[in-house]
A and B are shown apart, each in its own frame.
Chain A
């Protein structure tokens, strides 16, 4: 029997045979596959640009103590000094070096972006998987819950959570994840609904593999490609939300973040334009980087749609 034709057949018993019956667009999980994904990503213009921007930002975040010319928590000059050679981006209202503050701000924004996107993926993924595989009552309850959360605007949900529980680094991540998990849940749910009817799943069931194996090793890897795109978008959304909260003065007060720099800038728009311009630029760069990455990833994992679109646009 030809192994490329999957089907519930009694001869398909060993794991390797079942595995080979997976569709070819399956996202393999090994390191080799990740590097293959990266190299394909780099061949798209958008993806490469986004990847470079993000890599630079991560580098800046990691090496902030080395790069920053001053201690961002100390007064190092007169307050509200315009940009000069010593203070490239000027100083803020209490005489801290803005360039150092912006560099350090990279850490908080990236950390919140990635952690919140990851948390949303875990929560949304679990719920989407449960609803998509179990069906029945579980499906109805969980998906109604997701719809309920989607009715409320993201910023309102986050503000509500912050208003009630206060804000610290982890609470912020939890609040953002609470607001965006339905995006992931619905995406994964949709994937599961499609995939669970496919032949390779039937083959796995016939092969008497455990439910955990079928869900985690057979369906999940195939469900992931579009989800990866969403994770990049979620991270950019999380960074935007955090900067918004920071701007409202509702972010973690012990943290240096771009949004909080903009909150301070609001009172000095007339005296110190640099306090607003540079942190805002940093936010834009991070968001553009993540959006480009998402576009690139979309092109890699969903090549047909993009090719079709390009063909028609011409």
Chain B
């Protein structure tokens, strides 16, 4: 397997100007500013193989986007080296740009008042695609993303889900080898989320595209990624397969129950009563001790059920958990 991304000892620190309170102090700092160094990313190492789908996770301000900016060549690192598709990103940014794509869930690259076809056309020019190649690729993507009916409707009239499909297709026109996806499913309804995830998976399978995904959606990570890199305070605190991560951290599920009548004691090993309010109860299930299936059948056998929901801990909870664990180790 060839490497898509190779990062070694990459770090970034910024000089931040001190702002002191008080008029005299701010006057002083105008002529004699004091700076302190803030490390956004500590030396990090990781590698991504071509064709991998990697989740890049961490809370806000963890150093995610600084890292991505270094990998796309927007930022120069303070130290260390990186190779993306064999290019040095910050020295060969323009060359690299032809081979990478990006989809940002919260930013649109489509022209708002124009139909998507116009943005596609513009992209073909920006990426200097030969005409015939472009047309072939465009039609292929239109078919795969089912955009036929949408291509000539102004973007402002599309639903968020339809727009996202167009965004993705637009980002893929130049056949990027690596795609950076930032919150690709944010704000989408469940059905559309699935659709987008299926498309992402398909793209990875059929074209061998390497995907680097940042998301706060546990579903994105579970369903798409085989591997997760978790970063916090500028350090990689976990780099493991998602299944390992789940085994370790998604051991708990929460069950919300609404029963016909107020229940008695719950005496099932691995199940903990978290909260009870009349006939409504919340249980925490340790799935390493008992399967959800067994818990549910126990409930169905012993109680009259009105409503039930099962929840995973949120990705944020998992990350917090991971981080806290690591900190304990350090301490």
Q: Do A and B share a complex?
A: no
